[in-house]
Structure 1
Amino acid sequence: LQACYLGQSRHPVFIALRETIEAFDIPMTPFADLLEAFKQDQTKTRYATFEQLLQYCRYSANPVGHLVLYLCGYRDQERQRLSDLTCTALQLANHWQDIGRDLLHLDRIYLPTEDMQKFYYGEADLRAQIADERFVGLMQWEVARTREMFDQGLKLSEMVDSRLSLDIELFGRCGLEVLRRIEAVGYDVFRQRPTLSQWDHMKIFAETWWKRRRSSGH
């Protein structure tokens, strides 16, 4: 990465990346953060606190939003802050729908230990895929604050050009739909993983596009 920024890389991918970096004046930070997330994935499989989980999202999810903003000509901190809310919420929604699979296949638990303890729910319960009132309460807690992030992040759609605005709203509404489906299965993501089909994505796109068209007076 450093060689790329110094113009010393000979690999065609990094040569092309260097051209984009120069054209849009993209700093190294988002790329470095993504690499940090990759390193963390190799070693960290548990998160003691919600703040630790948010820090992971800062490296694994938020840089993607920053890169999109840079490519679209937006560089201010407020837009980045709102982008972070959507990107983090998308990452969290993905974690919540994949709780069973992440533990079974990757031995990873993204539910913060402090939250599990708050609801008297342990790792042994998680491995046994117990979806009792303790787990429901835990998931309600996580889903509620993830939804709040989505709701706040959607404000960014009002601060960018129309094409990017549509993308941001679609990401937010798809994420909110995943949360709604987690609720619809009674939070039992072990036995029914909430997902969106291609048809679901098309439906959300059509509804969002029509709503925006009507609000614009066309």
Structure 2
Amino acid sequence: MSVEHYENFPVASILIPAALRPAIHAVYAFARSADDIADEGDLHPALRLEKLQAYRTALGKIQQQPTNPGDFGSQALNSVFIPLGKIIQQYHLPLCAFQDLLTAFESDVHFAPFPNRKALLEYCRFSANPVGRLMLHIYQAATEENIVLSNHICTALQLINFWQDVALDLKKNRVYLPQDSLQQHHINVQNQSTQKITPEWIGLMQEQIEFTRTMMLAGAPLTKNLRGRLAWEMRMIIQGGLRILEKIENVHYDVFNQRPVLHKPDWAIISWRALTHS
């Protein structure tokens, strides 16, 4: 799952075995801090890219000196990469996964709308899928089949985040809905946000929800390949994502005025479904 999804799935911190939490925290700190560089504050784009390049340089230092990379040049970098370096070595984490995340964050600096779903899914390949791959490595479950299934789940989670955050992203001048789909349904998202929900908008969102749900379910067999807490956590994550899709449907796709989020009653439903669905 991409870093944004920790807001939706706080069960992770409860279900993760205590021994693995430092590793999860180190990965999260990397992703969260890099994402903040790309998105937060009023930094000039050139400075954002410079700071992200410093992250690439730090990863390169870990690759060249895996057992003792030493100082990374600043307190901010040390706080992220000293613990990360230890975790990368301990769990043999693939550096390419971290590089892929940086590619996504760099593309966020100069955001461009996605012409079609293929382009959007390619973005998810960098922004979301690496996190799932890293989690599988930490749990020593990174088989080829598991990675493929994890990619389905992570991409679905990223898309769910986009669909529930249409209004928030518009404030950042970002539209993650594929441009060809918008054109096909004759929709201008900026205008749509100030008007009543139209049949065209409903048709567009129904397509996105259906595709996303199908992708999530395509990854669901991953739970059968996992054991213990990780299997339970994955069932919770899948059901949590599906529940948010339901909540988008329940507000008749009006994500402009009612951002669908998970509340206590939803977690009871999610837990029951995770228990009863294989």
Corresponding residue of 2:139:
72
- Asked if 1:182 is matched to 2:240, the reply is no
The match for 2:261 is 195
Q: 1:139 is matched with which residue?
A: 205
Alignment correspondent of 1:88: 155
In structure 1, distance between residues paired with 2:101 and 2:234: 20
- Equivalent residue pairs, number: 211
Counterpart-to-counterpart distance in 2, 1:169 and 1:191: 29
**Partner Cα distance (1:129, 1:6) in 2:** 55
Between 1 and 2, higher relative CO (CA 8 Å, sep ≥ 6) is seen in 2
Are positions 1:34 and 2:95 aligned together?
A: no
Structure 2 regions of 5+ residues with no counterpart? Answer: 1-58, 72-77
Shift of 1:126: 3.4
- Partner residue of 2:63? 5
User: Are the structure 2 counterparts of residues 191 and 3 from structure 1 closer, same or farther at C-alpha, using a change threshold of 3 Å?
Assistant: same
Question: 1:131 aligns to what SS in structure 2?
Answer: coil
Q: Which residue number corresponds to residue 120 of structure 2?
A: 53
Report the more deviating stretch, 145-154 or 69-78.
69-78
The alpha carbon displacement at 1:38 in A equals: 1.0
1:202 deviates by 4.6
Relative to 1, partners in 2 of residues 1:47 and 1:209: Cα closer, same or farther, differing over 3 Å? Answer: closer
Q: Which runs of 4+ in 1 moved over 6 A?
A: none
Counterpart CA distance in 1 for 2:79 and 2:237 is: 31
How far apart, CA to CA, are the structure 1 residues paired with 2:273 and 2:182? 36
- Structure 2 length as normaliser, TM-score? 0.71
For the 8 Å contact 2:220–2:238, the answer to whether it is kept is: yes
Distance 1:138 1:210 in 2: 33
Q: What SS does structure 1 have at the residue aligned with 2:257? A: coil
Distance 2:201 2:210 in 1: 14
CA distance in 2, matches of 1:124, 1:211: 41
Change (3 A) 1:159 1:108: same
- 2:104 aligned with 1:14: no
Residues 9 and 39 of structure 1, relative CA distance in 2, 3 Å threshold:
farther
Match of 1:113 in 2: 179
Work out whether residues 21 and 27 of structure 1, in 8 Å CA contact, stay in contact via their aligned partners in 2: yes
Q: Cα distance, 1:203 vs. partner?
A: 4.4
User: Is the 8 Å Cα contact of residues 100 and 129 (structure 1) preserved in structure 2?
Assistant: no
CA distance in 1, matches of 2:82, 2:273: 38
Aligned to 1:126: 192
CA RMSD of superposed structures (Å): 1.8
Write the distance in 2 (CA, Å) between the matches of 1:39 and 1:132. Answer: 35
Measured against aligned partners, the alpha-carbon deviations of 1:24-63 in whole angstroms (never above 9, x if no partner) come to 1111111001111111111114111111111111111111
* DSSP 3-state at the match of 1:134: helix
Long gaps (5+) in structure 1: none
3-state secondary structure, aligned to 1:139 = helix
